[in-house]
Amino acid sequence: MSEQTDYKAPVGDVQQVSMTWRTVTSSNITEVGYNTTQEILGVRFHFGSVYYYYEVPQEVYTDMISAESVGKFLHRSIKGKYAYGKLGD
């Protein structure tokens, strides 16, 4: 992991939420972000897509950024378990 960067992440049609992003070492994922107030997990991929996962407990985010493989953690513990949306859709 490297230094943190703040981005604005749109949620729903209009609402904006501040999210702190962390750079991660992964073959597919560049950054993972989290908003503690709304429990939104953000995942930014190398190819440019950004996905948001909703109602994700902070412990899951903490486990993800410290996982040996962030991509494997995403597939094993996030996908299919939380509602999600793709930025720009």
Tens-place pLDDT, residues 30-68: 999 999 999 999 999 999 888 889 899 999 999 999 999
Tens-place pLDDT, residues 2-20: 445 444 444 454 244 678 8
pLDDT value of position 8: 45
Cβ(24)–Cβ(32) under 8 Å? yes
Question: How far, in Å, CA of 35 to CA of 19, rounded?
Answer: 5
Query: Considering only CA atoms, which of 4, 63, 13 is closest in space to residue 33?
Result: 4
Ramachandran angles phi, psi of 5, nearest 5°: -135, 140
Outline where the chain has alpha helix (H): 58-65, 70-73
pLDDT value of position 83: 86
Q: Would the CA dihedral through 66, 72, 76, 79 be positive or negative?
A: positive
